[in-house]
Amino acid sequence: MPWPTLNDPVHDSQRLFRQLLTAMSEPGTLHTLEVPSPPGDDIGPALWGVLLTLCDLDTRVWLAPALDGPALQEALVFHTGCRLTADPAEADFALVTPGVLAEPIAFALGSDEYPDRSTTLLVALDTLEPAGEWYLTGPGIALQRQLGLGVAAAPLMARLAANRGSFPCGLDAILTCGARLAALPRSTRIEEVA
């Protein structure tokens, strides 16, 4: 079954990008993306929409083994023209599940002079709720926001919480669950509240 693409690439990708921009500039806010659903359960519409909006022949994408498959590879390359890479250190985007971050995978963190040369994590989650165990503060957050991500997200959040120590280098993350999306840029301070 062929993977669907955006009905109106110009205006749909603009609309999706603005949702992404809002998500990234107001970390922890939830956004629902209207994107045709890809087949299978691994990649939700929000994640597929992000890939269609941001990837092109200038981007290298790293696929976590848990999500990798010929159908996804073919669809990605066909619809976006992006290059797939086996080396996480040269990936612009990494498609991951939260558990993958338990391994110390060497994604690009950027350098002190060019912190923007880093990998952005595109995460497929099972849980993404506006309230829960993670408290967020920092730029883009007036007082405090919360996110509930389920127990499976612990390795991911441990990795993102470490961003503070290496700022301005670090990983930005776009969290998706089905059609919902939130973002956690490296500037966000993350605290777990038991």
Partner 1 sequence: MNGYNFAYLDEQTKRMIRRALLKAVAIPGYQVPFGGREMPMPYGWGTGGMQLTASILGADDVLKVIDQGADDTTNAVSIRAFFERVAGVETTTVTPAASVIQTRHRIPETPLEPGQILVFQVPIPEPLRFIEPSEQETRLMHALEEYGVMHVKLYEDIARHGHIATTYAYPVKVDGRYVMDPSPIPKFDNPKLDMSPALLLFGAGREKRLYAIPPHTRVESLDFEDHPFEIQRWEQRCALCASDKSFLDEVITDDAGGRMFVCSDTDYCLTRRGELS
Report the residue number, 14 or 126, with the smaller CB distance to partner 1. Answer: 14
Burial state string for 65-102 with b = 16 or more CB within 10 A and e = fewer than 16: eebeeeebeebbeebbebbebeebeebbbbbbbbebbe
Residue ranges binding partner 1 (CB under 8 A): 9-11, 13-15, 17-18, 20-22, 24-26, 53-59, 92, 111-116, 118, 120, 138-142, 167-168, 172, 185-187
CB 24 → partner 1: shortest distance, Å? 5
CB 147 → partner 1: shortest distance, Å? 17
Q: How far apart are CA 46 and CA 174, in angstroms?
A: 10
Q: How far apart are CA 132 and CA 135, in angstroms?
A: 8
Query: How far is the first Cα of the chain from the last one, in angstroms, to the nearest whole number?
Result: 44
CB 70 → partner 1: shortest distance, Å? 25
Report the residue number, 24 or 101, with the smaller CB distance to partner 1. Answer: 24
CB 188 → partner 1: shortest distance, Å? 9
Q: How far apart are CA 60 and CA 48, in angstroms?
A: 16
Of 132, 140, 172, give the one whose Cα is nearest residue 156: 172
Report the residue number, 41 or 58, with the smaller CB distance to partner 1. Answer: 58
Report the residue number, 1 or 142, with the smaller CB distance to partner 1. Answer: 142
Instruction: Report the alpha-carbon angle 155-77-20, nearest 5.
Output: 55
Residues in Cβ contact with 114 at an 8 Å cutoff, skipping those fewer than 6 apart: none
Q: Structure tokens of 155?
A: 């390795």
Report the residue number, 37 or 144, with the smaller CB distance to partner 1. Answer: 144
CB 55 → partner 1: shortest distance, Å? 8
